[in-house]
Amino acid sequence: MTGRAQPLIVGAGPAGIRAAQALVAVGLRPLVVDEAPACGGQIYRQRPVPDGRSAKSLYGSEAGKAQALHGAFHALAGHIDYWPQALLWNLRDGDADIAVAGENRRVAYDGLILATGATDRILPVPGWTLPGVFTLGGSQVALKAQGCAIGSRVVFAGTGPLLYLVAWQYMKAGVEVAAVLDAAPFSAKFAMLRGLPLFPAIVLRGMRFVAELKLRGVALHSGVGGVRIEGTREVSGVAWRSGGREHRIACDGVGYGLTLRSETQASDLAGCTFRFDERDRAWLPQRDAAGRSSVAGVYLAGDGAGIAGADAAERAGERAALALCEDRGLPVSPERAARLERELARIDRFRDVLEAAFPFPAHWAGGIADDTLLCRCEEISAGEAREAMGRYGIVELNRLKAVSRVGMGRCQGRICGGAAAELLAAETGQGIGSVGRLRSQAPLKPVPLVLQPAVRDRETAA
């Protein structure tokens, strides 16, 4: 057990950084733990070593925000405790188990702010496990952090604002973008017009991405279905259907993703009550407008509590920290708290616009071929999952997990859980909210083990 209890912030992205700032401002010293080697989160991820690229080349129009956040966090040095490359893997009875440099540190926390972020959501398609296929987020990490591309001729497929952003980033980096395949119909994009009064700069920037891709000759296809990634030992092309025709294009890399999903496992272990969110098509931990969860002393901020983007994460992180201060009787500006809540409500309305413009292709689930891998960790195909559903009359997700082992592997269902739920809903004719959610268990992610020197010496002598 380490030192005296202090506020614990999990995540050093936009939400975690602003939360730490707000706590330090009232004289608290939080512990910030993050899996990445440097602050910034996914959206403002930093390079592990300097490589000559400017902030503008890394973050584009968001360079100013990225630099401001990085600078704000660095200014907190000496006022916070910070553990980078640290994995929170368990929460229980007011203690957190955190793996750092091969050892476990059990931390007693006094107030917990979960800013755990989000990951890509996918539905399996033929060939999605081939070498050369990355999620959209993974494609972005490769470009930002490592300065490398996932291929020399790349196709980006799926839906969501990230689809066009990552394609544009690759194009600007000099990579040949062969095509962008959007599951959403072209008509859905007219919903973005409703977003102009709310966030005109964001809407216009998105329109610019699309226009620049088209001007560079990138093929943009809407309303695609039947996506199939082709290849034997590696990606060689992508096939799809649209307009009643079959299409194919050659490529050596694929970025694929269908919007985002919140990382909620830590909230589950913390004991938070969950509710089904129709817009996110996911079970999310309940929170009030200030970020308070159903558990006293546990606060939720950023995409880990509902997808809303980096700007919302900054505001939600600060608001959650202010809620922690309010609950301790520490001085907080009511005007600032109210302003943050108004801004978050405005962003939430814009999220409705984005969802209308980039709807999740739920109809794809019923068409997943039986021989398509559903759970890559346990090597369970969609056909095997369907067979288990039929044989045992399964209508609930955890029962499917128990019978088929879907979701029991290294990812603990973070990748396959949503897809398994969609498949189960499609097969049983239920709404996606009726099939339940996978229960989280410790360890939340695989915990690295380090062989101690004494043990190594004994084995060498033997």
Encode pLDDT of 349-364 as tens digits: 999 999 999 999 999 9
Instruction: Looking at the structure, tell me whether residues 204 and 298 fall in a common domain.
Output: no
Instruction: Looking at the structure, tell me whether residues 254 and 272 fall in a common domain.
Output: no
**Domain final residue, candidates 234, 258, 282:** 258
What is the model's pLDDT at position 226?
A: 96
State the DSSP H helix or E strand holding residue 155, giving kind and residue range, or none if neither.
Answer: strand 153-159
Instruction: Looking at the structure, tell me whether residues 318 and 385 fall in a common domain.
Output: no
What is the model's pLDDT at position 125?
A: 97
Q: Report the CATH number at residue 394.
A: 1.10.10.1100
For 214-234, write each residue's pLDDT tens digit. 999 999 999 999 999 999 999
Region of poorest pLDDT, from 52-61, 162-171, 176-185: 52-61
Among candidates 160, 180, 159, 158, which has minimal Cα distance to 168?
Answer: 180
Amino acid letter for position 319: R
pTM of the model: 0.94
For 320-336, write each residue's pLDDT tens digit. 999 999 999 999 999 99
The verdict on residue 285 lying in a domain is: yes
The verdict on residue 189 lying in a domain is: yes
Instruction: Looking at the structure, tell me whether residues 134 and 232 fall in a common domain.
Output: yes
Domain that residue 46 falls in: 2-119+262-354
Instruction: Looking at the structure, tell me whether residues 190 and 131 fall in a common domain.
Output: yes
Into how many domains does the chain fold? 3
Per-residue confidence band for 3, with pLDDT thresholds at 50, 70 and 90: low
Residues 6 or more apart whose Cβ sits within 8 Å of residue 312: 302, 344, 347, 348
Among candidates 49, 145, 36, which has minimal Cα distance to 85?
Answer: 36
The verdict on residue 450 lying in a domain is: no
Q: Which two tokens stand for residue 434?
A: 């009726």
Instruction: Looking at the structure, tell me whether residues 318 and 235 fall in a common domain.
Output: no
Asked whether the beta carbons of 42 and 16 are under 8 A apart, the reply is no
Residues 6 or more apart whose Cβ sits within 8 Å of residue 149: 142, 143, 170, 173, 175, 253
The verdict on residue 460 lying in a domain is: no
The verdict on residue 317 lying in a domain is: yes
Handedness of CA 368, 446, 265, 357 (dihedral sign): negative
Instruction: Looking at the structure, tell me whether residues 96 and 188 fall in a common domain.
Output: no
The verdict on residue 35 lying in a domain is: yes
For 427-461, write each residue's pLDDT tens digit. 999 999 999 999 999 999 988 777 666 544 444 44
Per-residue confidence band for 59, with pLDDT thresholds at 50, 70 and 90: confident
For 231-271, write each residue's pLDDT tens digit. 999 999 999 999 889 999 999 999 999 999 999 999 999 99
